[in-house]
Amino acid sequence: MSKNIAIIGGGNLGSAIAEGLINSGFAKAENIFITKRNIETLSQLKEKGAHILNNNKEAVANADYVILAIKPFQIKDIISEIRPSLKARKHVLISVVTGIWIKDLIEMTGEDFAIVRAMPNTAIAIQESMTCICSHNASEEQAGFVSNLFNQLGKSVIIDEKLMDAATVLGACGTAFAMRYIRANIQGGVEIGFNAKVAALIAAQTVKGAAELLLTKHTHPEEEIDKVTTPKGCTIAGLNEMEHQGLSSSIIRGITTSYKKIVQDM
C-alpha cells in the first residue's frame, strides 16, 4: 500500500522535496499533501497532481509520514496546531528544520512518536541531495522507509544527532557555497573571453566532473589536483594566487561562521 506524505511548509526546501518525490517515482503526486499559507506559489505541484492545502491539520490527517519544512521559529506553534491530528501509532515525523533537536520535538509532541531528523539540500528536487539522517523511536520498517526515501532522492548517511548542525552547514548551506564558487568562475570566464552562457556551462560541468571524480574514484582532492597541476604550468600559478588571497581560509571561516550562527541562535 502506498504511504501518504504530508509536507508542512511548501517553501524552497519543502517544494523541492515534493518535486523530487514525484520525479523519482518514489511517491505518486496523489500521495503528497503539501501545505503553506499562500498556496498560489505551489501551482506547478498542483498541475502535477499533488494535493495543495493551506490546512495543516487536514494534510496530517491524510498522511502517514509528516515532513516538517517550516522555519525554526515556527515549529512550536505549528506542532501545537497539528498535535490533535497526530496519532502516535500512525504518524512518523520527519523534521528538516535547522537547529531543532529530537528532545525539543519530544517536548512538543510527547514521547510516543517516531521522530526523524533529516538534513537534505535543494538538489533533492533532481534526486541529487546529500541527506544526513538520525532517528528516535522509529521501527525498522519506518527507519527503512525514510532511508529508502532519501536514497531515492540522492545519497544519504546516518549520523549522530550531535553532528546535525555540522551536517546542515556542510551539506545544506554547502549548495549555496558551491553555487558562489561556480558564479565566481563564470565571472572570471567572461573576463577571459567567454559569453556568460558558455562560461556557465563550462563552470558547472567542470565542478560536476570534479565532484564525480572524487565520488567514483574515492581519491583525495589533493591527489586529483596533482594530476592537473603541470610543473611550471598555469594551474599551479592560479591556485597559489587563490591561496595567497585566502581561498581555503575564507571557505573554512565561512563554514565555521555558519555553524556558530546555528549554535548561537538555538
Ligand X SMILES: NC(=O)C1=CN([C@@H]2O[C@H](COP(=O)(O)OP(=O)(O)OC[C@H]3O[C@@H](n4cnc5c(N)ncnc54)[C@H](OP(=O)(O)O)[C@@H]3O)[C@@H](O)[C@H]2O)C=CC1
Nearer to ligand A1CAB, 155 or 174 (CB): 174
Measured from the Cβ of residue 195, the count of other Cβ atoms closer than 10 Å reads 9
Q: Which does residue 35 touch among ligand X, ligand A1CAB, none (CB within 5 to 8 A, set by kind)?
A: ligand X
Sort strands 32-35 and 51-53 into parallel, antiparallel or unpaired: parallel
Nearer to ligand A1CAB, 61 or 170 (CB): 170
Q: Which stretch binds ligand X (CB under 6 A): 11-19, 23-31, 188-196, 249-257?
A: 11-19
Nearer to ligand X, 172 or 186 (CB): 172
* Residue 62 interacting with ligand X (CB under 6 A): no
Q: Measured at CB, which residue is nearest to ligand A1CAB? A: 172
Give, as ranges, the residues between 79 and 118 that touch ligand A1CAB (CB under 6 A): 98
Distance CA 176, CA 118 (A): 18
Q: How far is the CB of 25 from ligand A1CAB (least distance, A)?
A: 26
Residues 116 and 138 sit within 8 Å (Cβ to Cβ): yes
Q: Which stretch binds ligand A1CAB (CB under 6 A): 14-22, 141-149, 168-176, 185-193?
A: 168-176
Give, as ranges, the residues between 169 and 188 that touch ligand X (CB under 6 A): 172
Residue from the set 37, 162, 197, 244 that interacts with ligand X by CB under 6 A: 37
Name 246's Cβ contacts closer than 8 Å, sequence gap at least 6: none
Residues 153 and 125 sit within 8 Å (Cβ to Cβ): no
* Residue 172 interacting with ligand A1CAB (CB under 6 A): yes
- Can you read off the three cell numbers belonging to residue 7? 509536507
**Nearest 5 degrees, angle CA 81-CA 96-CA 172?**
150
Q: For residue 130, report the phi and psi dihedrals to the nearest 5 degrees.
A: -110, 120
Q: Which stretch binds ligand X (CB under 6 A): 33-41, 145-153, 157-165, 234-242?
A: 33-41
Beta bridge partners of 158: 133
Three-class SS of 184-223 = HHHHHHHHCCCCHHHHHHHHHHHHHHHHHHHHHHCCCHHH
* Residue 61 interacting with ligand X (CB under 6 A): no
Is 72 assigned a ligand-binding role in the annotation?
yes
Name 91's Cβ contacts closer than 8 Å, sequence gap at least 6: 60, 63, 64, 65, 66, 113, 114
Q: For residue 50, report the phi and psi dihedrals to the nearest 5 degrees.
A: -75, 155
Residues 134 and 121 sit within 8 Å (Cβ to Cβ): no
* Residue 38 interacting with ligand X (CB under 6 A): yes
Nearer to ligand A1CAB, 182 or 213 (CB): 182
Q: How far is the CB of 204 from ligand X (least distance, A)?
A: 18
Q: Which does residue 17 touch among ligand A1CAB, ligand X, none (CB within 5 to 8 A, set by kind)?
A: none
* Residues making contact with ligand X (CB under 6 A): 8-14, 35-38, 56, 69-72, 74, 78, 96-98, 119, 121-122, 172
* Residues making contact with ligand A1CAB (CB under 6 A): 98, 168, 172-173
Pick out the residues of the known binding site for NADP(+).
Answer: 8-13, 69-72
